[in-house]
Amino acid sequence: MRQTVNLSEGESLRHAVRRATWIGLWVWPSFTLLDAYMCFVAFPGAPFPLFVVGRVVVEAALLGVYWGSRQPAVAVGFLARCQNASFILAAICIALMAIPLGALRSPYMHGISIVLLVRAVVMPEPWHRALPIFTAIGLTFPAVMLAQVLVSLQARTAALEGNTLVVFGANFVFVIASAAVGLMSGHSSWAAHQQLFRARRLGRYRLQAPIGRGGMGEVWLAWDQALRRNVALKLLRPAGVPDPDALRRFEREAQAASQMRIPHSVQIYDFGVSDDGIHYIAMEYLIGVDLETLITRNGPLPPGRAIHFARQLCDCLEEAHAAGIIHRDVKPSNLFVTRVGGDPDFLKLLDFGVARLRLSPAGDVRLTKTGTLCGTPAYLAPEMWQGKEADERSDIYAVGVTLYFLLTGQVPFEGMTPAGVMIAQLERDALPPSVRRGEPLPPGLDAVVLRAIAKRPHDRYQSAVELRRALDAVPASWSAADAESFWHQPAWEMATRSGGVSDTSPTAPLPA
């Protein structure tokens, strides 16, 4: 499962927007049948085509918001504003539809109540946060009717006839009541979820909010009550009897990561199992973003910055390989950028779930069954596709592919299926990164990348130290001041403020 955005609050809001918009995509057009009844039966002669246009316009807006919710590059704050705008647009369309259906007396005013209640159900939040959008939706109908009265003498005359204003006032009371009920119910639902999260405990850890989900389990932001600090708590939640291979991978991740002492690997604090059989790993809670998201949102990196990240990755792999640990899943989504001390571009290597401990005291315990591969297709070395054992040079290949992606925004070998990627890796030659990027790179950088992704292991760099030395020889620089300038852009300041998690997506085995 691919990791997208490591921003807990932001991703939670993105998911909520997606869910709410999906519901709206079905609810909104279903009222077209009511439009037909009103135009052809209750109010013969009403312009039904205009009603259809209104439904189509709002449906298109909802579809646009839903599409945006699936694009990591679309800022969550902008997405939330667009969704609120779609609710207001729906209310405006309802008010406009009411004009030929009795105007101030129109029963379509109650459509505003439905919009308010749907908003409360699909987007529960504190009442003070919801109040502005509820107010805007609730006032839409009287605002449209007032505009009509101001521009139309016929509308003013109709508004003063009989008890029109009395009927309007009586109906509008229901809109106000719906807004009040929506605010209270939305707040209550939000508060109940918050209490549920805070009430859940796992040993000494108090679960606060879910911040990731993967093939094997979940990751939660948790509070360590003993040491009084936030941690990322990775949970293995088996359905029924735990799968031995999944449990072994989970345990191996804790063992492998805990052996790492270099600060460029995620720090493991604790590992255990709860009374009700939930295995967990407590790891450091990181604030920042993964490299895949960074490239998706911002495009290819300056060469100096890409090399800066690759050097840190080599340092981490040097220690891992010296300890007999082959990571086997090096890729941009497992590389997390955070701030450590005065370095805002500090790299952390995550997810040792498919690592192999070559020097395990108990022998080489296989984590994959015969006929399966563990990892991400685009980053798997060719020898792994051929069924050979992964070694240090397999990780070097993944570093080369990662560096290629950082420089170009693309992987060197692509395919519609894992089999297509395999064929491309085994049979095709990679274009130099400068060609894919469309501009020259510092002297020697093309050669470094292409050697790292050579098809035959003995043609690659033979160690992380050797690759690091080759990168050091490339004339490109990236300073802490450069990094500070980048992260101080408003969009990234907002993104990294909400926090991240060290690992949200365990990699499942791939069929060979």
Query: Shortest CA distance to 355 belongs to which of 365, 345, 344?
Result: 365
| DSSP class of 499 | -
Beta strand pairing call for 279-284 and 229-236: antiparallel
Question: Catalytic one among 224, 329, 345, 391?
Answer: 329
What is the rounded radius of gyration, in angstroms, for the C-alpha atoms of the chain? 28
Give how far the C-alpha of residue 410 lies from the chain's centroid of Cα atoms, to the nearest Å.
Answer: 19
Contact at 8 Å (CB) between 6 and 289? yes
Beta strands in 308-400 (DSSP E): 325-326, 335-340, 343-349, 356-357, 372-374
Which residue is associated with the tokens 């570093």? 399
Q: How far apart are CA 125 and CA 186, in angstroms?
A: 6
CA dihedral 112, 118, 121, 123 (to 10 degrees): -90
Residue type for position 208 = Q
Q: How far apart are CA 420 and CA 377, in angstroms?
A: 9
Query: Shortest CA distance to 316 belongs to which of 290, 339, 348, 343?
Result: 348
Based on the residue annotation, tell me whether 329 is a catalytic residue of this protein: yes
Query: Shortest CA distance to 499 belongs to which of 186, 230, 200?
Result: 230
Q: How far apart are CA 458 and CA 38, in angstroms?
A: 76
Extract the tokens encoding 413. Answer: 């070998």
Q: How far apart are CA 326 and CA 399, in angstroms?
A: 13
Phi, psi of 371 (to 5 degrees): 90, 10
Alpha helices in 333-411 (DSSP H): 382-385, 392-408
Q: Decide: residue 304, CB within 10 A, 0-12 exposed, 13-18 middle, 19+ buried.
A: middle
Sign of the Cα torsion 203, 204, 210, 212 reads: negative
Give how far the C-alpha of residue 27 lies from the chain's centroid of Cα atoms, to the nearest Å.
Answer: 26
Angle at 327 between CA 323 and CA 328, to 5 degrees: 145
Q: Which residues are catalytic?
A: 329
